[in-house]
Amino acid sequence: MAKLHPALHPIKYQRTFCLIKPDGVMRGLVGDIIYRIEKSGLKIVALKMIHANKEMVAQHYPVTNDFWVERLGEKSLSGFENLSVSPLEILGSDDKKVLGKQVTEVLIDYLTSGPVVCMVVEGIQSIDMVRKLAGDTLPYKAAVGTIRGDYSVDSPAIANAEMRSIHNIIHASENPEEAANEIKLWFGREPIYDYQRAGENIMYEKHY
């Protein structure tokens, strides 16, 4: 086997954080989600179920980051595209920052409403891969064949009108910095395992 250049090691053995949210756990989708991740060729190197408290979830989301909060508000506003009603009429505001703060509050309630399953997933460009498997954050936009596209149909317009979070089954880190922070937050000093998966040499190495 050819020696891997050090610059490529973080790509081939990239790690990401994945969390199956309470609705995914309660609907019995844990096994299928894990199956999809492993079937793609990625490897689960840490796994646990916990019931998170509000303090934990508040650390998970960058609730003090105005850009992140406003982006949530933009997603809320996007749910009213091509609808005959306005966010001002239904939600009482069309300010993305105001709406983002509202979403932040219900997100914390959502993730503490039941147990979640946390995973560290390893493999070639695992961050992008898991997000591709998960599908668009807004379920009604998620492609068929993705986790959200196959198992959820929720909309920010309906969710915000009902003062709840979008039920979109799964969270996956967006970038390496976020993945590192989330792995540290949810797993702390707990072990992350290194092992050879059956067929790994066929998927990732020259074997002829």
Q: Which residues are catalytic?
A: 171
- For residue 83, the one-letter residue type is L
User: Which backbone phi and psi does 16 adopt, to 5 degrees?
Assistant: -135, 165
Q: Which string of DSSP letters, residue by residue, matches 100-118? A: HHHHHHHHHHHHTSS-EEE
**Which of 73, 204, 75 lies closest to 137 in space, CA to CA?**
75
| Contact by Cβ (8 Å): 167, 151 | no
Residues 6 or more apart in contact with residue 15 via CB below 8 angstroms: 45, 120, 121, 122, 126, 179, 183, 192
Q: Which residue has the tokens 């994945």?
A: 18
- For residue 24, the one-letter residue type is G
